[in-house]
Structures are given as C-alpha cells and as structure tokens.
Copies of this chain bind each other. A is one copy, B any other.
C-alpha cells in the first residue's frame, strides 16, 4: 500500500473516531457505530427502501442473522472463489481437563484454536446467500418470479486501516429470482441506473465500474476475467480514501443460472431460474457522505439533508 493511501486512510479514520462516529475496538476494521453515524446509516437505509418501493415492486421481507449453515457456504462455492475472506465459527466442546488447558493458553496469550472445533455455522459473506435454498424449497418458481428484500451483517476477513473497509458491515440487498436471463439482467441494469441516481442525489461522485472481486489464487484470475468479459457484475464506486481507487458503495450482479442450478430453483416448465441482486453497503455510503460533505452533519448541503431526513 502506498504511503499516501495509508495516510489518507488514517486521516479519515482519525477524524471519524475523534467525532465519535466510529468507536474503535483495537482490531483493524472493527468499530462500533456512534449515535450520529447510526442515525445517518438508518436514513440511508430508509432511502434505499423508498427507492425500491418507488419502483412499484413488492418484495418479500426476510431477515437473517449474521451466521448461516456452513454447508450453505460450501455449496455456494464461496470457498473456491474467496476462501481468504470467509469466516467459520469454532467452539469449545471438551472436558473439564480440556477447559483447563484452554484457559492456560488464554492466560499465556497463546493460540487455542486447536482446542475448538469447527461448528455447523459460518459467517454470512453476502446478505443474499440464505435466500436461495429457501426459494428452492418452495418448489417451482411462481409465474413472474420473486423479489426478496434482505438486510444483514456480512463478514469479510480483510483487516485494513481503511475505515471504509470493515470486517463486519451491513448490506441491504434486493434479490430477484427471475424466470429467465432477460428479466434478471433487466433487474440488474435498472438498479445500476437507480443506484447511481440515489448516490448522486446525495452529492456523491458515484460512477459505474466493472466489478473487481478479490478472487483467490491462479484460478481466481480466470474467474475475474470471466466476470469482466461477461459483464456480470457492476459496482457503483465513489472516491473515499483514493481518487484512483474509488470504493464500491453498492454492486449490482447478474448471476446467470449459477444459484438456480446450484440450489435447483426451477420454473414450472422445468427450465432453471436466473438470479440477480443489488446490494448497498450502508456503512460505506455513510462514510462516503462524511468524507464528501464533512464530519459535521449539520453543515451538510441542505438538499442532501432534506433527501435523507425526508418524512
């Protein structure tokens, strides 16, 4: 990382912490949200919901906890593509003697991971993952497809000094389970436009960019090329700590029949459903606002305040 970038990240992090917008935990990328930051996040989220509803589409509103079945993470192929970002949950399951050993390690400041076992759960990497098996279990896709609204904490193991790159953050997603490719792609494209309008309406210099997922290893390079060549996923980016490397605030993703095939989501005629999703990283949008308009919310442009605090 260049010194300039690191300094820009540290300057922003320091300002956010000093204003008690972020409450530091001592671990990079892990913060509490202060009163004012959380209020701004809630207003951003309400704007995302108003934008979705303005579209006239009625979504099923499901809420999932921040953990999901480990088997689902495995089935989704996330561990093939981005194993370094995934978190799995381990727990102690031993005897009183094992417990003594564990405590000795804790007190000695040693690793005790080998005294804990892999559980059946892992951390949610993206808010839409729990949706697909439930839709599949409902049987043939109803005519016209489905639209699901999800909002959950997601985990990415990427400790960073960048206050816009959190290990645990909330993603508000709309997931379209569509009968065919055209429908899914149109959903994604519509949200690219709608998302840009939403972000620019808040005074953010948002642009559309091809996705830039951090796929792992040599095979990952092919996945990245494929994702770009097929124009499957786009990000809505905005400069936060770097003008050259703007940060993704949202993404809109056409999955082809990837999840439809994996989970067996089929139309009544037996063809496989296509899916797409749009996700807003609400903490990132908030931090982009503080970076763009300043730390003092009361001094933000009148139209931005009006749009966020609309009744």
The chain A residues found within 8 Å of chain B, CB to CB, are: 23, 25-27, 30, 32-35, 38, 60-69, 71-72, 74, 79-80, 83-93, 96, 99, 102-103, 106, 111-114, 116-121, 123, 130, 133-134, 153, 155, 157, 159, 166-169, 216-218
Contacts and interface: CB of A to CB of B under 8 A. Distances in A.
List 10 A-B pairs, minimum CB-CB distance, nearest first: A113-B118, A65-B168, A91-B157, A66-B66, A87-B89, A33-B63, A96-B217, A83-B92, A27-B69, A35-B61
Contact of A23 (B62, B72, B112, B217): B62
B155 A89 contact: yes
B86 A88 contact: no
Nearest to A84: B92
A99 B217 contact: yes
A167 B23 CA distance: 26
A303 B133 CA distance: 38
A216 B102 CA distance: 13
A66 B168 contact: yes
A118 B33 CA distance: 25
Contacts of A113: 88, 90, 116-118
Main SS at interface, chain A: mixed
Contacts of A119: 87, 157
Nearest to A68: B25
B66 A23 contact: no
Contacts of A68: 25, 30
A93 B84 contact: yes
Of listed A38, A61, A90, A218, residue having the most chain B CB within 10 A: A90
A168 B121 CA distance: 10
A108 to B, nearest CB: 11
Contacts of A80: 103
A114 B116 contact: no
B153 A65 contact: yes
Contact of A120 (B34, B155, B159): B159
Contacts of A218: 96
Contacts of A71: 26-27
A35 B67 CA distance: 19
A63 B166 CA distance: 14
A221 to B, nearest CB: 11
B23 A38 contact: no
Given A106-B74, A119-B157, A218-B96, A169 B65 contact: yes
